[in-house]
Every structure is written in C-alpha cells, then in structure tokens.
Amino acid sequence: MSMDGFQASRRSFLGVLAAGMAVAAAPVYAKAPGLLRGAGDVRKIAMYNQRTGESLNTVYYANGRYIPEAMTEISFFMRDWRHNVVRQYHPGNIDILATTLRMLETDEPYLMISGYRTPQTNRMLRGAAKESYHMRAMAADVRLRSRDVSQVSRAALACRAGGVGIYNRSNFVHMDCGPVRTWRG
C-alpha cells in the first residue's frame, strides 16, 4: 500500500473511531486538572493558520498513547513559517490547548497566531520574551472567533498546567506548558 493510501486509511479509521466513541460533556472548570491527567481515550485538536492557509483537525491521542503521525503533523503545522523550521512539539502543550477547547464546549478551530519560533524569529518580534517557550516548541498564541480573550484565558487558567498570557489589545491568549503563571501583555 502506498504512503498516501496509508494516510487516507489511518484518517478514515481515526474518524470512525472518534465518531463511534461517546465524548463526555465538557467538565466544569474545577475539574480541569483531572481532565489533563486523564483526558479520555480520544484527544483531538483543530487549528487554522491564516499566514500559511493551512488547517489541522486531527486525533492525536487514542487508547492511552500519543499517535506519532499526528504529533508529526501537529509539529509541522506549528512550525516557524518564516524560516520553515520544524521542531517536535511538546504533547503537554497540545493537551492544554485541547482541554481548553473542550472546556469552552466548542469544535471551532483555533486561529493559531504563533507556534514554534526560531531564535531569529523570536528576536525580531517586539515584546517577545528572550527565553520564550515558543523557542522550545512548548507554547502557542491562539484566538477563537466565537469567544473573547477573557473566556479563553479563564478556561486556560483553570487547567492550572502552564503559563497563560492574556493579550486583550492584540486579541489572543498565550498558552504554554512551562511553570504555572499568568501575565497580561
């Protein structure tokens, strides 16, 4: 079987698997840390990158393990598009993003503003932290069309699983899987 046939078969299988499993209602914020530890048998993420025009909608975790092909696809999607550099993305950050979406009870894809950044890209961005978690492939700046920054940031903060930057003026939320902390930009 060709690699293209394998991809289509894997996607078809995962789509059927995800559709066939009952997904629990989104938990209340107080249960967010438990959700991160046992986020269920199936975890998925959906994002759109307006700079590249690429979309991502994938199941990345099933039956107790991360799916390597899906994690590779996520890492490519989150690449530094300015320099076309890919770095393996930290699964903990993807879990935070996915959990936040579930808590917001939406299937809307994130608009991904910034994922992995090379040191060169990080230096050129005004206000970027010198030791940014973006350079470690452990952070993402995102927004949702249907939710405001305060709604997204409250859900992310409820995860108690990393850093949450609240950027009201720029209309995005930063989420990373570093130490638990918060700030306003």
Tens digit of each residue's pLDDT (9 = 90 or more) over 107-118: 999 999 999 999
Nearest alpha carbon to residue 176 among 104, 78, 105, 37: 78
Residue 10 has pLDDT above 80, yes or no: no
Q: What percent of the chain has pLDDT over 90?
A: 72
* Secondary structure element (H or E) that encloses residue 11, with its range: helix 3-20
Answer yes or no: is pLDDT of 14 > 50.
no
**Which residues have CB under 8 Å from 65's CB, separation 6+?**
none
Q: Which CATH class is domain 3-184?
A: alpha beta
Q: Does residue 174 carry a pLDDT above 90?
A: yes
Q: Considering only CA atoms, which of 102, 88, 92 is closest in space to residue 162?
A: 92
Given a cut of 70, whether residue 121 has pLDDT beyond it is: yes
Cα Rg, the chain, nearest whole Å = 16
CA angle, residues 42, 48, 50, in degrees to nearest 5: 170
Return the biggest CA–CA distance within the chain: 51
The pLDDT score that the predictor gives to residue 15 is 42
Check pLDDT > 90 for residue 129: no
Q: What is the pLDDT of residues 59-77, one digit of tens each?
A: 999 999 999 999 999 999 9
Q: What is the pLDDT of residue 40?
A: 55
What mean pLDDT comes out for the span 96-125? 95
**Nearest-angstrom CA–CA distance, 178 and 110:** 20
User: Taking 90 as the threshold, does the pLDDT of residue 135 lie above it?
Assistant: yes
Residue 163 near residue 174, CB atoms below 8 Å: yes
Q: Output 22 or 150, whichever has higher pLDDT.
A: 150
Query: Model confidence at 167, in pLDDT bands (50, 70, 90)?
Result: very high
Residue 93 has pLDDT above 60, yes or no: yes
- Rounded average pLDDT over 106-134: 93
CB 116 within 8 A of CB 21: no
Is the pLDDT at 13 greater than 50, yes or no? no
Whole-number pLDDT of residue 127: 81
